[in-house]
Amino acid sequence: MSVPSGDAERPLTMGGKRSFELRDLVDAGAYVVDDGGRITQVNPRAEQLLRRGADELLGRDAHDLLHRGERGEPLPRSRCEMRGPLLTGGNAQGAEQWLERGDGTLMRISWLVTPCKGDADSLTSALVIFHETGSDTTEQWQPAPVHEPMSERDRLALLAETTTTLTSSLDVDETLRQLVRLVVPLLADWVVIDLFTEEGSVSRAVVVHYENGTLTHRAELEELLPPLAQESPMPLARALRGVAAALVGPEDYEGRPDSAITAAQQHLMAVTGIRSACIAPIRGVREVVGAVTLGRSERAEPFTTDDMLLTEDIARRAGLALDNARLYERQRRVAETMQRHLLPQLPTVPGLEMRACYVPAPDASQVGGDWYDAFVMSDGTAGLVIGDVVGHDLDAAAGMAQVCNMLRAYAGELEEPPSMVLDRLDQAVARMAEPTMATVVFARVEHANGGWQLRWTNAGHPPPLLVESDGRAFFLEAASGLLLGTGHRLPREDAVVPLAPGSTVLFYTDGLIESPSHALDDGLDRLSRHAAGLIGQPLTAFCDRFLASVRPADNDDDVALLVLRVPG
């Protein structure tokens, strides 16, 4: 299967040397992983050796998908020699490592790992080059029937990796995904995570089974559980009350259940076929967050006391990570709610159409300070604002509120040109208690010669885009000056452009054009092309389709968009 050109032909550099492409490596298998260990590029030779197409490799975790022990067993991350250079950013090589092919057979390789960079220097990656040195003799490997017990060194390495991995994200879903990857299949072939919701009920958030070399989510078992029985002596109820970890078998859930939540756990044990389980509380800083159940159905050996203590320690670390992630999400929701409530309802101006959109940053990102505003001024003209306060936190959202309100006040006080309004605003921003910087475009839509014209000034913001009815597009790059809050007083200018019937003006924030993987000019070009292509759409449909097609997938910033149209 051919490699998608967007992933296979991206140039790489190593040690400052000349750029090359993976296709240049014809005798060795090669793939590139990002800083999270996910495969981002692969060459055709690697596809042949691994017997997997690019669509089976790209985006997958290289360790989970490929790395195995010599008997085909899943390889603990703490024992994987190829992961070391990915963590340290150094070079390494070796002659004894096993990779699993797409058909289930094993391949012994010699390998080299070296750091490299893609198009954007900030995106550090690692290049893995490997040669086949031998393979297994069976049609398909079979996992060892008995799993060797973990050594004390491996247990300490697992706990260290748990701490590092789980604290690397402030997103609850990502923390749960990482927790699953850490314990399955290394400790168990089933993992069940029950969490308390904000309302105090218990949700079976994760049920994952490791089978045939892959992690399978059992969505039919993920549901809201019955209320917690406070007096129940059963293991899950005790763990959810934060009492203690316990070793559990099917015999513990035989007989008539003492509560509805016990019946739910009884059903889980029956459906999954778990023969041995370990249930541990997930404790946060202030309260119990939930409980984790590790189960073994395929593996013959039961959990031991040492396994229970290890599970309890992992759950404790998971609790701290989940507690922090939930606290962060609460703060983020507060900031986002405040920001949304500060965004205005657009006024009705006869002879003009206006639409606005605000899209928050992705779940794992921080809240930004993007905003838009539109209002009718004392002389009857419409004022339009797009802005972005520097920063990504509650302070940025609070700063946005202050700057937005001051701009409205200055614009409505006197009938002054936009440049004078922003000059007054810049002086006020310099007097704010908390240092704040912001980029702003402030424009007036004025009557002129029986039609409309746009008068604007720009304080360090991306230029508005004017698209005429025939699809011709122009960036309004005139009247550009320093952003607000720098402390430097430089003259600001105004610019004027007529707005013909059918023309559309887009005011936007940098979340629509900036991307870690592309140059800024590429983002501006994409924005211009898509806006021109959608110019015939009604304004509501225009905004929806424009955002869906233009916003970069890898940008973690929020986006504000304000669109003005003069009907044809």
Q: Where are the domains of the chain?
A: 5-135, 152-332, 343-565
pLDDT more than 70, % of the chain: 86
pLDDT of 225 higher than 70: yes
Closest by CA position to 66, among listed 86, 176, 1, 77: 77
Of the candidate ranges 131-135, 397-401, 435-439, 522-526, the one whose mean pLDDT is the lowest? 397-401
Structure tokens at 153: 């060194």
> CA-based diameter of the chain, in Å?
88
Q: Provide φ and ψ at 252, rounded to 5°.
A: -70, -20
Q: Provide φ and ψ at 363, rounded to 5°.
A: -55, -35
Beta bridge partners of 279: 246, 293
pLDDT of 532 higher than 60: yes
Structure tokens at 269: 């044990």
Neighbours of 219 (CB within 10 A): 8
Domains 5-135 and 343-565 are alike in CATH topology: no
Q: Assign domain 152-332 to its CATH architecture.
A: 2-Layer Sandwich (3.30)
**Taking a C-beta distance cutoff of 8 angstroms, is the pair 527, 465 a contact?**
yes
Query: Which of the two residues, 557 and 53, has the higher pLDDT score?
Result: 53
The DSSP secondary-structure symbol of 187 reads: T
Question: Each residue of 241-284: pLDDT tens digit?
Answer: 998 899 999 999 888 999 999 999 999 999 999 999 999 999 99
Half-sphere exposure of 60 (CA within 13 A, CB side): 17
DSSP H or E stretch at residue 524: helix 520-533
pLDDT score, position 89: 66
Domain 5-135 is in which class?
alpha beta
Distances in Å between the Cα of 517 and the Cα atoms of 121, 322, 520, 530 are 9, 30, 10, 19
Structure tokens at 487: 């402390």
pTM of the entire structure? 0.55
Structure tokens at 253: 């859930």
In this prediction, residues 88-104 reach a mean pLDDT of 82
CATH numeric code, 343-565: 3.60.40.10
DSSP string over 451-509? EEEEEEEEESPPPPEEE-TTS-EEE--SSEEPPBTSS-------EEEEE-TT-EEEEE-
The DSSP secondary-structure symbol of 170 reads: -
DSSP H or E stretch at residue 256: none
pLDDT of 12 higher than 60: no
**Taking a C-beta distance cutoff of 8 angstroms, is the pair 118, 517 a contact?**
yes
Distances in Å between the Cα of 427 and the Cα atoms of 66, 415, 488, 490 are 59, 18, 10, 11
pLDDT interval class at 190 (50, 70, 90): very high
pLDDT interval class at 404 (50, 70, 90): confident
pLDDT score, position 142: 43
pLDDT interval class at 360 (50, 70, 90): confident
The DSSP secondary-structure symbol of 367 reads: P
pLDDT score, position 70: 76
Sign of CA dihedral 13, 18, 21, 22: negative
Closest by CA position to 361, among listed 409, 325, 321, 329: 329
Q: Which residue has the tokens 């195995």?
A: 68
pLDDT score, position 339: 60
Cα–Cα distance between 294 and 206 in angstroms, integer?
A: 11
In this prediction, residues 160-182 reach a mean pLDDT of 86
Mean pLDDT computed over every residue of the chain: 84
pLDDT of 482 higher than 90: yes
